[in-house]
């Protein structure tokens, strides 16, 4: 029997059922189909697309329309996994009204089934308003890449008592505001385990250790499309960059030698006499499809 489409409620219930959530990012239909059929619970159309797909330095210039466009491709190809889409920089920070409008656009135009936004207790109002509009929200605390300029980089967060305490109370505020799940990015595993144990909603970690209720990785990183990116938290499950290189080198060699396309990859026809074009050489009068032609 085909597994059913995963809803935000189903993801939330996985925590009480003791089932871990496996999530990866996806940005287009081809990858979404492969990841979905491999059995992931959720696909995140992350604003990491700015870096992973477009090669930007950060996620800050991804717009709402751009991410909705990517989300549409992912949503179309995904039959089972839950599709959650990031609210990009400045699409929810200005007012609760704009937050609802932006989230609504990702659902209506992008086909998202829930949205994710970065930030702590200071966004409780925006989260509550989006949820009130009927859209499930996933929170995201710890390293929040949209604040990279404030944080001064992409390092581990919550290493001292004050910041750890702030993350703990942010997590509770986001749960109270109505989040159905919470991403914990780049925090010490002891803190992530403590937060996870204190919440009813599931935590999904990236660089936050095994004590979370689930894990998320950027698909291109996990599948080895980004060979120079080797942070400690990242495990590579494939070496696609190397495999693609090997495949393309073979293709180019075969094209240049004439080994491709061979007979198996070519079309044949019945012998037909083609009238030569006015300026054609005698060669053009050949019988096409005849043996030896």
Catalytic center residues: 185
Q: Nearest 5°: CA angle at 216, between 248 and 243? A: 10
User: What residues have CB less than 8 Å from 129, skipping those under 6 apart?
Assistant: 96, 97, 99, 100
The only residue of 40, 141, 218, 222 in contact with ligand KIV, by rule CB under 6 A = 218
216 binds ligand KIV (CB under 6 A): yes
Q: How far is the CB of 260 from ligand KIV (least distance, A)?
A: 37
- The mark string for 112-151 relative to ligand KIV (x by CB under 6 A, - otherwise) is ----------------------------x-----------
35 binds ligand KIV (CB under 6 A): no
* Residue whose CB is nearest to ligand KIV in the complex, by number: 46
- Residue carrying structure tokens 């499930």: 136
Distance between CA atoms of residues 243 and 222, nearest Å: 14
| Between 99 and 183, CB nearer to ligand KIV | 183
Q: What is the 3-state secondary structure (H, E, C) of the chain?
A: CCCCCCCHHHHHHHHHCCCCEEEEECCCHHHHHHHHHCCCCEEEECCCHHHHCCCCCCCCCCCHHHHHHHHHHHHHHCCCCEEEEECCCCCCCCCHHHHHHHHHHHHHCCCCCEEECCECHHHHHHHHHHHHCCCCEEEEEECCHHHHHHHCCCCCCCCCHHHHHHHHHHHHHHHHHCCCEEEEECCCHHHHHHHHHHCCCCEEEECCCCCCCEEEECHHHHCCCCCCCCCCCCCCCCCHHHHHHHHHHHHHHHHHHCCCCCHHHCCCCCCEECCCCCCCCHHHHCEECCCCC
68 binds ligand KIV (CB under 6 A): no
41 binds ligand KIV (CB under 6 A): no
| Between 137 and 183, CB nearer to ligand KIV | 183
Applying CB under 6 A, what is the total number of residues that bind ligand KIV?
A: 12
213 binds ligand KIV (CB under 6 A): no
47 binds ligand KIV (CB under 6 A): yes
26 binds ligand KIV (CB under 6 A): no
The only residue of 11, 24, 25, 64 in contact with ligand KIV, by rule CB under 6 A = 25
Q: How far is the CB of 219 from ligand KIV (least distance, A)?
A: 9
- The mark string for 170-199 relative to ligand KIV (x by CB under 6 A, - otherwise) is -------------x-x--------------
Residue 238: Cβ within 10 Å count = 11
| Residue list 228-287, contact with ligand KIV (CB under 6 A) | none
46 binds ligand KIV (CB under 6 A): yes
The only residue of 137, 206, 208, 219 in contact with ligand KIV, by rule CB under 6 A = 206
Q: How far is the CB of 59 from ligand KIV (least distance, A)?
A: 6
The only residue of 24, 48, 73, 91 in contact with ligand KIV, by rule CB under 6 A = 48
Q: Which residues bind ligand KIV (CB under 6 A)?
A: 25, 44, 46-48, 86, 140, 183, 185, 206, 216, 218
């Amino acid at each position: 029997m085909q597994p059913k489409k995963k809803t935000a409620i189903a993801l939330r219930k996985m925590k009480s059922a003791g089932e871990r959530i496996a999530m990866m990012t996806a940005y287009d239909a081809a990858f979404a189909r492969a990841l979905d059929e491999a059995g992931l619970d959720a696909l995140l159309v992350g604003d990491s697309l700015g870096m992973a797909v477009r090669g930007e330095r950060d996620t800050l210039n991804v717009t709402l329309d751009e991410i909705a466009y990517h989300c549409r491709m992912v949503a179309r190809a995904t039959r089972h996994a839950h599709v959650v889409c990031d609210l990009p920089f400045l699409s929810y920070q200005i007012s609760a009204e704009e937050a609802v409008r932006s989230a609504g656009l990702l659902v209506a135009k992008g086909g998202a089934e829930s949205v994710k936004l970065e930030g702590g207790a200071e966004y409780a109002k925006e989260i509550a308003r989006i949820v009130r509009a009927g859209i499930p929200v996933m929170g995201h605390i710890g390293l929040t890449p949209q604040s990279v300029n404030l944080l001064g980089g992409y390092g581990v967060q919550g290493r001292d008592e004050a910041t750890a305490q702030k993350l703990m109370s942010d997590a509770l505020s986001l749960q109270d505001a109505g989040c159905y799940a919470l991403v914990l990015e780049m925090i010490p595993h002891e803190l992530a385990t403590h937060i996870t144990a204190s919440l009813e909603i599931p935590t999904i970690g990236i660089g936050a250790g095994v004590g979370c209720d689930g894990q998320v990785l950027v698909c291109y990183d996990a599948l080895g499309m980004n060979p120079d990116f080797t942070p400690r938290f990242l495990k590579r499950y494939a070496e696609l960059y190397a495999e693609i290189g090997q495949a393309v080198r073979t293709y180019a060699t075969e094209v240049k030698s004439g080994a491709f396309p061979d007979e198996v990859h070519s079309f044949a026809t019945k012998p037909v006499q083609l009238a030569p074009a006015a300026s054609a050489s005698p060669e053009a009068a050949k019988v096409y499809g005849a043996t030896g032609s």
